[in-house]
Amino acid sequence: MLGVFRYNDKLGRRLVVILRGFPCSWGKCTFCPFALEQSTSTSRVIEDNRRIIAEALRELERDPVERVAVFNGGSFHELPYDSVERLRPLARGRIFEVEERSEFVTMNSLEALVEYYRPRRLVVRVGFETAFEEIREGLLRKGMPDSEMHRLSRLRLEARERGLPVEIWTYLLFGMKGISEESVAESLRVFKRLFDGVIAVRYRKYLPSHPEPAPVSPELASLLEREADLVDWGEEQWVIAGRRGYAPGRSGVERS
């Protein structure tokens, strides 16, 4: 669902700005719902995003917050320049969060984002989903091997050594058939060691071709609530192109 949303949760008072994106350059993840809201029309992407960013700026003026996340159902670097430019006043001096596929995250791209936006802190969220490569590449088809996970883990340390105010967080997917609860617990342990933050996201099936959901035990729920930086159980407002999904339970789509 596109638009501007306010949250007050474990990450504090924050604004989440969901923009329209172009189709993701990877576009192969087996569980991805974002194609439902992407557009190949440049004018549509630009016009929708102008409207949403203007609304976000009005919201910030009305009630300022220190943390702003911008998502576009793909990678931040795939946004049109018109949107990139208009986001500057939202990011400046704030904790500014974006999503990227791992291949967009390099020392040069981090330096360029910090230089351009001048955030207090830049948080880059990357959807590694699981620490198990066979699940990530076999079941999920993420196209982000373990080597990328370790590259980004090192990169965040190197960036900080250069004085860049940068953090790299990852998403952790749970509640899907084929991703055991044991693997989720182990992924959480590995991710906490490799990254600056972990956001656990409950899977929700949006299309018939998507993998099946799985129930979540109270034990896993409580572990995630205790140990993850945020658990996205999904809320009723997370609707992709009018679809609430096929599974019982709630959605989690604040992710790429």
Binding footprint of ligand SF4 on the chain (CB under 6 A): 24, 26-29, 32, 34, 73-74, 101, 127, 256
Nearest distance from C-beta of residue 28 to ligand SF4, angstroms? 6
- d(C-alpha 59, C-alpha 45), whole Å: 21
Residue with tokens 């917050």, as numbered in its chain = 65
Task: Using the minimum distance from each CB to ligand SF4, give the nearer residue, 29 or 56.
Answer: 29
Q: Which two tokens stand for residue 215?
A: 């129930």
Task: Using the minimum distance from each CB to ligand SF4, give the nearer residue, 28 or 189.
Answer: 28
90, 60 contact by CB (below 8 A): yes
Instruction: Indicate the burial class of 143 (C-beta count within 10 angstroms; 0-12, 13-18, 19 or more).
Output: middle
Task: Using the minimum distance from each CB to ligand SF4, give the nearer residue, 184 or 223.
Answer: 184
Q: Which helix (H) or strand (E) holds 168?
A: strand 166-174
- DSSP helix/strand/coil, 42: helix
- DSSP helix/strand/coil, 248: coil
Task: Using the minimum distance from each CB to ligand SF4, give the nearer residue, 27 or 93.
Answer: 27
* Terminal C-alpha separation, the chain: 14
Nearest distance from C-beta of residue 233 to ligand SF4, angstroms? 19
Nearest distance from C-beta of residue 32 to ligand SF4, angstroms? 3
Nearest distance from C-beta of residue 127 to ligand SF4, angstroms? 6
Task: Using the minimum distance from each CB to ligand SF4, give the nearer residue, 121 or 141.
Answer: 141
Q: What is the largest CA-CA distance in the chain?
A: 47
Nearest distance from C-beta of residue 89 to ligand SF4, angstroms? 26
